[in-house]
Amino acid sequence: MQAAPIQRLIASLSKLPGIGRKTAQRLAYFIIKSDGDYAYELSDAIAEAKKNVKYCSVCGNISDRDPCEYCSAPSRDQSVICVVQDSKDIIAIERTKEFKGLYHVLGGAISPMEGIGPDDLRIPQLMARLNSAVTEVILATNLNVEGETTAMYVARMIKPLGIKTTRIARGIPAGADLEYTDEATLSNALEGRRVID
């Protein structure tokens, strides 16, 4: 039997994505047994991050400022908005150094299985940003069923506005998460994006 405080730590750690019970147990013991102040540093870093990180009111990105570093940078091309599911996808696209426009984070993808509908995503916020200065919207949602459904839905919403809507595609295998797509492939997919009509 494990002591109650250790059980609590294991239970908390196993809620993290990709962490099973076994790994949670290993991490819990590592943290407890670690030398010096590591355990306190870790808990402090988590608390600080949670307290100081905010969502950009324009694009929905996670940042330490509002508007975020992309929305507030005059050097970014204001005429192109790249729509992604998650803040993590921005990091993936930035790594390609291919894209210089703005972003919009939807906060997920349409998934009837998980009970996520269009109303649960930041689609109205995207529509509100589509003024005459915007000439293209790139749909860079994941290449799985949910991502494709979401891209098609957003494309249909934008169509009446007459703004060019494109979808990343080339080279990315079906079912892929942007987050785990390498830079060269993602760069290629951005460059080879096709118009949705």
Contact footprint for Zn ion (CB under 5 A): 56, 58-59, 61, 67-68, 71
Residue whose CB is less far from Zn ion, 56 or 134: 56
Residue whose CB is less far from Zn ion, 58 or 143: 58
Residue whose CB is less far from Zn ion, 61 or 142: 61
Kindly state the smallest distance separating residue 66's Cβ from Zn ion, in Å. 8
Kindly state the smallest distance separating residue 73's Cβ from Zn ion, in Å. 10
Kindly state the smallest distance separating residue 59's Cβ from Zn ion, in Å. 3
Residue whose CB is less far from Zn ion, 44 or 66: 66
Which residues share a beta bridge with 166?
Answer: 138, 195
Residue 108, CB-side half-sphere exposure with 13 Å CA sphere: 12
C-alpha torsion 61→65→70→75, nearest 10? 170
Kindly state the smallest distance separating residue 61's Cβ from Zn ion, in Å. 5
- Tell me the pairing of strands 136-139 and 164-167: parallel
Residue 186, CB-side half-sphere exposure with 13 Å CA sphere: 24
Place of tokens 């400022």: 65
